[in-house]
Chains A and B, each alone.
Chain A
């Protein structure tokens, strides 16, 4: 054994450093527990991590190996060998191998194997334009988010960050614009008075109705106005909007652009029928991201949005952390470290140490003289525990529930004892033999990460206030359900913002909204001149590619993208069925002579955008012919997609029935895993783009259930000297000086001091002169 963790005994071992894990770890630390945080890779964040393109490429190789090993008979030995680092090159997200277990398993105990994955995603497809893959620049050039998030400026997480003084560790950028794809163009979401006045797309009566609704929401917050009752009801928000006289277009603006609903709020009768009928894929997908929003939910969402607008500066409601959304989890890791957590990176946990219940109780009683029994016990409370036992009677893994976790085994083979193990759902799902056989598969969210060579929206026309117009870098957009897509250039240029052509005008047709986030160099996640585009939507097909390709192809120029089947080691894919594709990609990479220059603008410069590639591959539906034929004569107006990754991510953020609201669905999820006593399962990421509220609420509820009576992080007190007491950072209260509604800022005191100094100076100057006059 190379080295060991000392001490080898903790109150709590936290596996992984995702946001929920860190919140729980920090709470327990503040409550005086010994905590070990152990993460399998070099970076923090686990299910909420930011990572590099190399990590994604490795995950694809891992995915392929799993598929092939699945095809071959799964041998007993291969089950215990984690996937090796495939590229032969180490990076932040590669996992070290596991050594054999050096210590003998204690008597009465057995091992519950854990096979951690570097990235908790599946169904990964990678695409790249010729000459755009890999290279050392990949390592440092990009920070990709597993769970991209818009942060509401006034959401509870922000207040929690300030409360814990973690805001010193983070930097946020305000989102510069919020858009919606409507009427064949991309238009700003009219979310405030100035936006509504400015938006010439809205008719006068639209403006009046929209303002009336927004003012009604503000009044309803104060318990007044014509909306106060309906915005507290369980009536669907879409119905309320319709009753208020909002047109379908304005309903979309409010539902998807302001209330940030992530699923279709106004399903057509056909879709409803389908939901009630055989396949419930859509309904599942909808439920994964909140389902139909009620008046009460809508009231809360609109309230959160309006209070967020301009909390820290101009009219934006959202902000995004610099250096990737993983930095939020990282800030809480740092908080844990400051409060005495032992934090170990690059150390996968290869197994949990479990003990039969009777012996476990005895061992716990012997090990601790206080009432530690209350700590452990049940992750879901007594009632659920009983349910679980009943449910497992007929199940195969009946023994699991009747045992108790007493420690972990690290990759180095060391046994670390503990009373409680805390892990996120992504980690739990890698435990073997705990999946309840009756559990339904979790809903998924389909995501895409795309590298662009230019911004999604062109720079606005120059104005006197801004002589050199700069295109917006950090923006969000939503494609409403069943969108018609983008119109051709002639039509689009007549409408407000979007004056650029699309390859076609056929509908995008997603059954649920597709959320888009564009980040640029302003948040330090990609090199200058490049932009990152994140797309997400509830998964309604079996493939993330199918869910999102159409949308991507409408928004960007995807003609150069080729599927990359084996990103890290092309030779390995010779065994796969897609050898022709990888060969095509290789050809494109090595010989530029396969490019044809169709210099459509006739100036002989052979612009890159006019180059077509001979070797087209199979996976380019529809767009190929249309785009290549039409792109030559018109100047390039859409940004070109240089690389793209598609993947699916399970949505398992609702842990406890109480959170789910719908008791049945929630209970089913909670019972998806039959865990040993003493293992606390925390939520994974939700499928939405806006806000951490759901994750925060679910984490808090899981914590409350597991540790009744122990204070939660928001209840703990933090001194004025910041999270890092040793660093002695005596910074001011609050996040910034410019929060308009944040009560009395420290500024007046400073001003007074300045004025006092000015008066003192004046007094002494006068005194000097009077003295001189006397002489």
Chain B
């Protein structure tokens, strides 16, 4: 699935026969598309034309106008079934249409598992409510066995699970299994971030949690003990292969969730020095938070202490578990620099002198990275000058 070059262009150059076949294919697509669009203009949804559009889509699934044509044609069928009530739907034309579209998209996805239009169309069909969801879940699990990193499939899986009302707990286990099989998988880690938010942030966040999004700092934070388990898991991945980027990106998200335990107020206050640009954005949040500020003072102090301890523990882990064995490893260095900078700038390291010392450490780490990884010199230079820290202010993550 990954790391394989596309061969067809090279093949075309060399092979006379392939060139002919290619021309034939292009002609067929041109003629077919023109034909279907012609009928579309006349609002003609003849079954024969629908059939032709299906054949066309099997060859080239990425022409979304053709999918739109099918949706226009089938919308009345589903609407009719909806008004006729539940009983008529079982064996009626709507059910047949649903099954037909599922079969068509299935065939297209077997050929082109990364076609946006096809996945979108399938979602549309399933949303009509006539597709067997258990089967969909089974199919999507198979698709993810074939290619663990197909983000279309992951998104579709989330969609199906939401419709099924499948528990985030079950899905978390599924995603964990995929990560255990191969942790070099951004999609699976990402899926995990969404599920953890669903489980711990906001009231019954099942529906909106995933899409409503927002920065980590704007939500109920994930409990520390849950985060600690995640930290443990991700360190296992670092030790197994420190050069793989995906767990490091997940780690960044984790730190953000730890920081979100600091109230917004604190974060904004400490960050204003370096991030004036975002001041207006945070101002509204600050205003609403101020009412409750008094009774929260004690809690806040405890939270700060806990967050500071986590950051210090993580910095120590990076130093002892990873950098001690491989002092020049890029990802541990960069992550340590960011942690140090956050500790310093958020005043989590005790006295101002201590904070200044940590900031100095962060700067020297960025400096080292500039020599170790010259391709990204400018990136580290910006960070060294404090310009990267706006991320913390805006998104609440290091």
Residues of A within 8 A of B (CB): 193-194, 196-198, 200, 204-205, 207-208, 211, 463-465, 755-756, 758-759, 761-763, 765-766, 768-770, 772-773
Q: What's the least CB distance linking B348 to chain A, in Å?
A: 25
A193 cross-chain contacts in B, Cβ below 8 A: 182, 240-241
> Across the interface, do A465 and B240 meet the contact criterion of CB distance under 8 Å?
no
Kindly identify which residue among B38, B173, B322, B325 contacts A464, using a CB–CB cutoff of 8 Å: B173
> Across the interface, do A759 and B59 meet the contact criterion of CB distance under 8 Å?
yes
Among the listed stretches B45-53, B278-286, B294-302, which one makes contact with chain A, having 4 or more residues with CB under 8 Å of it? B45-53
Which residue of chain A lies nearest to B48 when distances are taken between CB atoms in the complex? A769
Q: What's the least CB distance linking B59 to chain A, in Å?
A: 5
> Across the interface, do B35 and A766 meet the contact criterion of CB distance under 8 Å?
yes
**5 pairs from A and B in contact (CB 8 Å cutoff):** A196-B240, A205-B321, A208-B325, A763-B28, A765-B51
Interface residues of B in 269-310 (CB under 8 A from A): none
B237 cross-chain contacts in A, Cβ below 8 A: 197
> Across the interface, do A208 and B239 meet the contact criterion of CB distance under 8 Å?
yes
**Would you call B70 an interface residue if the criterion is a C-beta within 8 Å of the partner chain's C-beta atoms?**
no
B382 cross-chain contacts in A, Cβ below 8 A: none
Q: In this complex, which of B55, B171, B322, B326 has the most chain A Cβ atoms within 10 angstroms of its Cβ? A: B55
Given known pairs A211-B240, A759-B25, the reply for A205 and B325 (CB within 8 Å) is yes
> Across the interface, do B21 and A194 meet the contact criterion of CB distance under 8 Å?
no
Interface residues of B in 159-173 (CB under 8 A from A): 170-173
Give the complex CA separation of A198 and B241 in angstroms: 12
Q: What's the least CB distance linking B182 to chain A, in Å?
A: 6
Kindly identify which residue among A200, A758, A769 contacts B49, using a CB–CB cutoff of 8 Å: A769
> Across the interface, do B236 and A762 meet the contact criterion of CB distance under 8 Å?
no
Give the complex CA separation of A354 and B142 in angstroms: 66
A194 cross-chain contacts in B, Cβ below 8 A: 180-183
> Across the interface, do B55 and A769 meet the contact criterion of CB distance under 8 Å?
no
Give the complex CA separation of A211 and B322 in angstroms: 14
Give the complex CA separation of A624 and B28 in angstroms: 80
Which residue of chain B lies nearest to A462 when distances are taken between CB atoms in the complex? B173
Report the count of interface residues on B (CB-CB < 8 A).
43
> Across the interface, do B174 and A762 meet the contact criterion of CB distance under 8 Å?
no
Kindly identify which residue among A204, A755, A756, A769 contacts B236, using a CB–CB cutoff of 8 Å: A204
Given known pairs A197-B237, A207-B239, A755-B59, the reply for A465 and B321 (CB within 8 Å) is no
Given known pairs A193-B241, A465-B141, the reply for A759 and B24 (CB within 8 Å) is yes
**Would you call B56 an interface residue if the criterion is a C-beta within 8 Å of the partner chain's C-beta atoms?**
yes
Closest CB pairs A-B (n = 7): A464-B174, A204-B239, A207-B239, A464-B173, A762-B55, A197-B240, A465-B177
Which residue of chain A lies nearest to B29 when distances are taken between CB atoms in the complex? A762
Interface of A is mostly: helix
**Would you call B155 an interface residue if the criterion is a C-beta within 8 Å of the partner chain's C-beta atoms?**
no
Which residue of chain B lies nearest to A755 when distances are taken between CB atoms in the complex? B59
Kindly identify which residue among A197, A464, A766, A768 contacts B180, using a CB–CB cutoff of 8 Å: A197
Interface residues of B in 172-188 (CB under 8 A from A): 172-174, 177-178, 180-183
B238 cross-chain contacts in A, Cβ below 8 A: 204
**Would you call B93 an interface residue if the criterion is a C-beta within 8 Å of the partner chain's C-beta atoms?**
no
Given known pairs A758-B55, A766-B28, A766-B52, the reply for A197 and B183 (CB within 8 Å) is yes
**Would you call B31 an interface residue if the criterion is a C-beta within 8 Å of the partner chain's C-beta atoms?**
yes
Q: In this complex, which of A194, A196, A200, A769 has the most chain B Cβ atoms within 10 angstroms of its Cβ? A: A769
Interface residues of B in 319-350 (CB under 8 A from A): 321-322, 325-326
Interface residues of B in 222-262 (CB under 8 A from A): 235-242
Give the complex CA separation of A763 and B322 in angstroms: 61
> Across the interface, do A205 and B32 meet the contact criterion of CB distance under 8 Å?
no
B38 cross-chain contacts in A, Cβ below 8 A: 773
Give the complex CA separation of A758 and B58 in angstroms: 7
Given known pairs A464-B173, A762-B28, A762-B55, the reply for A770 and B35 (CB within 8 Å) is yes
Give the complex CA separation of A769 and B28 in angstroms: 13
A770 cross-chain contacts in B, Cβ below 8 A: 31, 35
A756 cross-chain contacts in B, Cβ below 8 A: 21
Which residue of chain A lies nearest to B326 when distances are taken between CB atoms in the complex? A208
B235 cross-chain contacts in A, Cβ below 8 A: 204
Which residue of chain A lies nearest to B325 when distances are taken between CB atoms in the complex? A208
Q: What's the least CB distance linking A201 to chain B, in Å?
A: 11
> Across the interface, do B173 and A769 meet the contact criterion of CB distance under 8 Å?
no
Which residue of chain B lies nearest to A768 when distances are taken between CB atoms in the complex? B48
Give the complex CA separation of A196 and B183 in angstroms: 11
B181 cross-chain contacts in A, Cβ below 8 A: 194
B236 cross-chain contacts in A, Cβ below 8 A: 197, 200, 204, 207
Kindly identify which residue among B52, B170, B326 contacts A762, using a CB–CB cutoff of 8 Å: B52
A761 cross-chain contacts in B, Cβ below 8 A: 55
**Apart from A204-B321, A463-B173, A465-B173, what 10 extra A-B contacts exist at CB < 8 Å?**
A193-B241, A197-B183, A197-B237, A465-B141, A755-B111, A762-B28, A762-B29, A763-B28, A766-B52, A768-B48
Interface residues of B in 132-148 (CB under 8 A from A): 141
Give the complex CA separation of A196 and B21 in angstroms: 48
> Across the interface, do B31 and A766 meet the contact criterion of CB distance under 8 Å?
yes
Given known pairs A207-B236, A211-B240, the reply for A198 and B180 (CB within 8 Å) is yes
B177 cross-chain contacts in A, Cβ below 8 A: 463-465
Give the complex CA separation of A463 and B52 in angstroms: 44
Give the complex CA separation of A463 and B175 in angstroms: 10
Give the complex CA separation of A571 and B67 in angstroms: 83
Give the complex CA separation of A194 and B38 in angstroms: 54
Give the complex CA separation of A205 and B236 in angstroms: 10
Q: In this complex, which of A208, A463, A465, A770 has the most chain B Cβ atoms within 10 angstroms of its Cβ? A: A465
Give the complex CA separation of A758 and B110 in angstroms: 14
B111 cross-chain contacts in A, Cβ below 8 A: 755
B182 cross-chain contacts in A, Cβ below 8 A: 193-194
> Across the interface, do A763 and B24 meet the contact criterion of CB distance under 8 Å?
yes
